[in-house]
Amino acid sequence: MKSTAGRVIGIGIGPGDPELITIKAVKALKTADVICVPKAHAEKPSMALAIVKHILDERKRSPEVIELVFPMIKDESELKRSWARNANIIAEKVKNGNTIAFITLGDPMFYSTFIYLYQSMKERYPEVKLEIIPGITSLTACAASSKIPLAERDEAVAIIPSDIDSKQIEEMAKYIDNFVFMRGAQRLKDLAPILERAGFTKNSTTILAKRCTMPEEKVMIGKLVDVQSWNIYEDYFSMVIIKRSELQSNRK
């Protein structure tokens, strides 16, 4: 493919509140020729598209909207095939000199679907110009909603995927002050004894945040010992933050 004036922009649209989309992201969304929307399932509506709908509705000329399926499966070969298919679709649009805006919740380079597209485009179409507009992450949104700092002074922070091995968590906890567990609601009650064995205490600050900045936001704050009595249900948009230190309000 010959070099064209087309380009692909990965746009982080924030954690859910439409007012948390950056000015730069809004400008790109108002001028892009094509809006690419990632979805885990073809039949389900896109939350990302709903968040930017008010911006697209303000445009004089509606952009083309393409929904791309990025399945959430473990089969590595099938995943790579789907990433390649989506890269091919976007490359065809770029050939015509279009500006493609690929929207993603949070930030494009933080546990994002855009990362897979970016890597596939770099490998298959290195001549395509790729840009990235960062967005507010769920990580910082949950800290803001809980009003508890993620890190202060010389505290060390670890960000952990929800399915990481328990032995790895216990080993890391010997050296880490604060943990962030992505989509960690379902494991929260099991994490308490693991962290206590590594030096955390029953009074360690614990936060369970779900759907931060969205209308149905829910944030629970307490001690590590409290979680056994919490009514916890799984939510994909959940995050657990556990700090070695106690809440200031619990200290005498």
- Structural domain boundaries in the chain: 7-133, 138-250
53-86, pLDDT tens digit by residue? Answer: 999 999 999 999 999 988 777 778 888 888 889 9
What is the β-pairing status of strands 178-182 and 205-210?
Answer: unpaired
Cα–Cα distances in angstroms (integers) from residue 49 to residues 35, 36, 54, 129, 170, in the given order:
9, 9, 10, 23, 39
CATH number listed for the domain at residues 138-250 = 3.30.950.10
Any residues with CB less than 8 A from the CB of 74 and at least 6 apart, and which?
Answer: none
Q: Could you read off the pLDDT of 186-243 as tens digits, one per residue?
A: 889 999 999 999 999 999 999 999 999 999 999 999 999 999 999 888 888 899 999 9
The single-letter DSSP state of residue 33 is S
**Quick count: other Cβ atoms within 10 Å of Cβ 205?**
22
Does domain 7-133 sit in CATH 3.40.50.300? no
189-to-43, 85, 206 alpha-carbon distances in Å: 33, 40, 11
Gap between the Cα atoms of 131 and 214, Å rounded: 27
DSSP state of 114: H
CA-based nearest residue to 159, from 147, 146, 142: 142
Tell me if 7-133 shares its fold with 138-250: no
- What predicted TM-score, i.e. pTM, was given to this entire model? 0.88
